Chains A and B, each alone.
Chain A
Amino acid sequence: MTGVPGLAADLRVMREDFSLEVDLGIEPGGVLALLGPNGAGKSTALQALAGLVPLRGGRITLAGRCLDDPGAGVFVPAAERAIGMVFQDYLLFPHLSAVDNVAFGLRAARVPRRQAREQAREWLERMGLAALADAKPGVLSGGQAQRVALARALAPGPRLLLLDEPLAALDASTKMEVRSELRRHLADFNGCTLLVTHDPLDAMVLADSLVVIEDGRVVQRGRTAEVARAPRTDYVARLVGLNLYRGRATGGRIAIEGGGVLVTADSCEGEVFAVFPPSAVVLHRHRPDGSARNTWQGRVAGLEQHADTMRVQIEAAPAVLADVTAAAVADLDLTVGAPVWAAVKATEIRCYSTLDSDGCRSAPAAGPV
């Protein structure tokens, strides 16, 4: 493994009531998003990589150097790993100015004070924060603090950049701007980047590939676009906003687990997943006579405002989410408990085997993706 130029990590960590077993690999210049619900073990994985939590098993190598290998008795403490970390709430040192925050890592690496401050100023300039170099963190806005934190993490020249929910603390309006800026800075960075997030949009915009974990285990991995198109768990489906079903296909007819049948234009056989977006669902008050091959009846179980559409949750066999306009909700008089018909064209339903690309059903792949 010593020849691997990027990050190769097989993380095994035990906590009192929780165990994490996740393996991941990142090429130099690559950005991997670690996605998962709260409590899935994302933070633990990050802390293990940073050296703030020791592994119980497995190993971590970065740029050919072994950082943690309990089997071999190797543990490199956080301060001696070539890593940079941006914390969720940034953790800028409140008593130091922005420039001194950025210079901190350089000073720790024994760069002379003047030189360290000069480099730190250059970093702040690159972040568009030259004017705020002498400001204390307390007066910075969320977006500014995030950029200072990023500059601080990058300044010492890490091989691995760890981003812990870097946008979670921002309000919606600044989030978009900061996100695109972060994308630009990550493109300039030639080390490995691991982005931990629970926001699929962050992952889509910032990362090339994804690892999704639930309950401490990898449930899906792949190129970002692939994962978005073909989710394999309800969690991922919800993240990417798709209706996901598991069933048995015979000649375009899929018998859904838990009841119901869907017809697809795709050709598939055997154990399959079937997906379609909520926007592909058309709702009717009465049985429709249109061309849709799939129509089935249910009841409205919930309504939720979703940007400029309404997401309607329908109890049926199979259960389905539908995105409709607010006007349609009014026209159809959709209230909780109201009977409703759902219609989906066969061409909107994609299906793919439950066996993943490696031919394994659910075991995580070994080695870098």
Chain B
Amino acid sequence: MLLVPAALAVAFLVLPLVALVVRAPWTTLPEALLSAEVGQALRLSLVCATSATALSMVLGIPLAWVLARAQFRGRRLLRALVTVPLVLPPVVGGVALLLLLGRRGLLGQYLDAWFGVTLPFTTPAVILAETFVAMPFLVIAVEGALRGADRRYEDAAATLGASRSLIFRRVTLPLIAPGVSAGAVLCFARALGEFGATISFAGSFPGVTRTMPIEVYLALETDPPAAIVLSLVLLAVSVVVLVSLRDRWLQGSAA
């Protein structure tokens, strides 16, 4: 009795992707793939998603540690606050970023006045928008891994004379590596697909802020076959990332 809805779910999730593949303009595909716009958007998307993942790890892993290990009042509230971007419509996130870091934003006005830095419409703005939306995925995954990890390994390391930072680097992090990888993959995938926050905070300019999803959206209005080609590229990149990282986990746990 569960098989019928399960089959429906599979069809629902997979058939749209099949349609994408079936309706792809295969004859003109190589030409479309080699076009300057696609290359530019793909490169920008990869650079930004990778940077956003790196930034999320640098900031998110310590945050996850605080949420999992530190004892303080308001920890639940803090967790709720930092995971809001998970459920917030990304466009709202983009608007919020604009109101904070825009040229007239709460902080942005000082960045502009004191340092002459304006973030909107720049590549760093894309990275910030993607980080805003994607970091909570990493934080949640790493916090879960930290909670699941056996803390007595850390005790053992302490009795061997290891400082807190050494324990974190050489014991805690390796122990939660699978959780960190999972979080990083989710984070990267989310950043790669980011559209709403990017277009509202960073705008859309070829080579600077126009990432693949925005390119797909624009192409859909005038040149649907091009949109399909772009979508195929995004689909391929996503599948490659998921598969390659999944293999690495398996190797890691088997070693």
Contacts and interface: CB of A to CB of B under 8 A. Distances in A.
Interface of A: 50-52, 77-81, 83-85, 87, 91, 93-96, 104-105, 108-109, 136, 152-153, 156, 162
Contacts of A87: 152, 156
Nearest to B173: A95
**Majority secondary structure of chain B interface residues (helix, strand, loop or mixed):** helix
A52 to B, nearest CB: 5
A293 B255 CA distance: 69
Given A93-B153, A108-B166, A79 B158 contact: yes
A152 B160 contact: yes
A94 B159 CA distance: 17
B160 A108 contact: yes
A91 B177 CA distance: 18
B252 to A, nearest CB: 9
Leading 9 A-B pairs by shortest Cβ distance: A105-B160, A78-B158, A95-B174, A108-B162, A108-B161, A85-B159, A91-B156, A79-B158, A79-B161
Interface in B153-172: 153, 155-164, 166, 170-171
Nearest to A84: B159
Given A95-B175, A136-B255, A79 B163 contact: yes
Most A CB atoms within 10 A — which of B155, B158, B166? B158
Interface residues of B, number: 20
Interface string B142-160: 0000000010110111111
B69 to A, nearest CB: 15
18 contacts: A51-B159, A52-B155, A78-B158, A80-B161, A83-B159, A84-B159, A84-B160, A91-B155, A93-B175, A96-B174, A104-B160, A105-B161, A105-B162, A108-B161, A108-B163, A109-B161, A153-B160, A162-B159
Which of B156, B163, B164, B171 is packed against the most chain A CB atoms within 10 Å? B156
A153 B153 CA distance: 13
A93 B153 CA distance: 7
Given A95-B175, A108-B166, A52 B161 contact: no
A93 B173 CA distance: 12
B157 A77 contact: no
Contacts of A93: 153, 156-157, 170-171, 174-175
Contacts of B175: 93-95
A77 B159 CA distance: 9
A152 to B, nearest CB: 7
A79 B177 CA distance: 24
A91 B157 CA distance: 9
Contacts of A83: 159
B144 to A, nearest CB: 19
A52 B155 CA distance: 7
A137 B158 CA distance: 19
A95 B255 CA distance: 9
Given A91-B152, A93-B153, A95-B174, A50 B162 contact: no
Given A52-B159, A108-B166, 18 more contacts: A79-B159, A79-B163, A81-B159, A85-B156, A91-B152, A91-B155, A93-B153, A93-B156, A93-B171, A95-B175, A95-B177, A104-B157, A104-B162, A105-B161, A108-B162, A108-B163, A109-B161, A156-B161
Given A94-B175, A136-B255, A78 B163 contact: no
Interface in B177-192: 177
A77 B163 CA distance: 10
A9 to B, nearest CB: 16
Contacts of B171: 93
Contact of A78 (B152, B159, B177): B159
Given A91-B152, A95-B175, A136-B255, A50 B159 contact: yes
B64 to A, nearest CB: 19
